[in-house]
Amino acid sequence: MDKLPRNERISVLQRILCESPGRVFTLGYFTEMFNCAKSSVSEDIDIIRSSLEKTGAGTIETISGASGGVRYVPLMSGDALLKLAGRLSAELSKKERILPGGYLYMLDAIYDPGTVSEVSKAFAGYFHDKPVDYVITVETKGIPLAFMTAAYLSKPLVIARHNIEATDGASVNINYVSGSLERIQTMVLPMRSLKRGSWLLFIDDFMKGGGTLKGILELAREFDCQVTGAGVLIETYMPERKLPVECFSLLTLYGVDGAAGITDIRPSQRLMAKER
């Protein structure tokens, strides 16, 4: 590549770091790409780090050692988190979203790239300093959130399915009780999908009884894996759950009054309680 002026180099660097958040790049990768000195790339990185920190968008971490380098860690300020939770509460409590049975229609929100990207950034920021080797979800509605969280953490995504597929190879099945739909379901995961001894981060759109998470915990045991925690967009206020892992939710659903057309959904207590 022809030598770029510093302005353009910063633009390219920021784009590459942004398009692979969490991925470690050696400085050598960039000095070769730009055909410039290590000190120049270091200064560029300092400028990018400063711009990220001033805008509360995260930071650039420097990893030392043989496999060292730099990586973009996207974070969300406490303010941005509250603003996001407030905006989503308002959106999801709209009267026209209430379905028969007290369910909420929210597919448009949980499949919308902008919303998914922001919520996933909140999940990734919350768990970024915890051990995560894989992000895991159960098909279908949580997949976009789980995928983007995996992308922000630069970790592979694993999807448990409800039925065995010919394209899976040998697989492990467990049965679990789905809390939100109150029925027994099957969870299947291909044998090849997880390395033994890994840490899993469970991501989903909705948590009621915690049955799906309990299924994931059981599945993890079968693979000699451990679960770091769970990130969900919405948890219900009731029932009380005793979960053996940390659960981070953005919103809490207190109730849906179908007759009155009122949905009580609010930013989760944890967000209100502390600055992150």
The residue type at 26:
T
Q: What is the smallest separation between the CB atom of 216 and a copy of itself, expressed in angstroms?
A: 16
117: tokens are 């990207």
Q: What is the binding site for a copy of itself (CB under 8 A)?
A: 1-2, 4, 6-12, 14-15, 18-20, 23, 47-48, 50-52, 54-55, 57, 99-101, 103-108, 111-114, 116-117, 139-141, 143-144, 147-148, 150-151, 154-159, 161, 165-169, 181, 190, 192-193
The two three-digit tokens of residue 228, written as one number: 């770091």
Smallest separation (angstroms) from a copy of itself to the CB of 225: 16
255, 237 in Cβ contact below 8 A?
A: yes
**Least gap, CB of 243 to a copy of itself (angstroms):** 22
Q: How far is the CB of 196 from a copy of itself (least distance, A)?
A: 16
8 Å CB contact between 107 and 118: no
* Residue 264, token pair as written in the block: 């009580």
* Cβ nearer to a copy of itself, comparing 18 with 27: 18
Is the separation of the CB atoms in 70 and 41 below 8 Å? Answer: no
Give the Cα separation of 215 and 188 in Å (integer): 10
Is 10 exposed, middle or buried, given 0-12, 13-18 or 19+ CB atoms closer than 10 A?
middle
Query: How large is the C-alpha radius of gyration of the chain?
Result: 21
The whole-angstrom separation of Cα 48 and Cα 30 is: 14
The whole-angstrom separation of Cα 97 and Cα 248 is 24
Least CB distance from residue 17 to a copy of itself, whole Å? 8
Nearer to a copy of itself, 64 or 67 (CB): 67
* Token pair in block for residue 101: 């049975």
Query: Beta-strand (E) ranges in 58-181?
Result: 58-63, 69-74, 98-99, 103-104, 134-138, 157-160, 171-178
- Nearer to a copy of itself among residue 148 and residue 220 (C-beta): 148
* Smallest separation, CB 182 to a copy of itself (Å): 10
CB of 57 to a copy of itself, least distance (A): 7
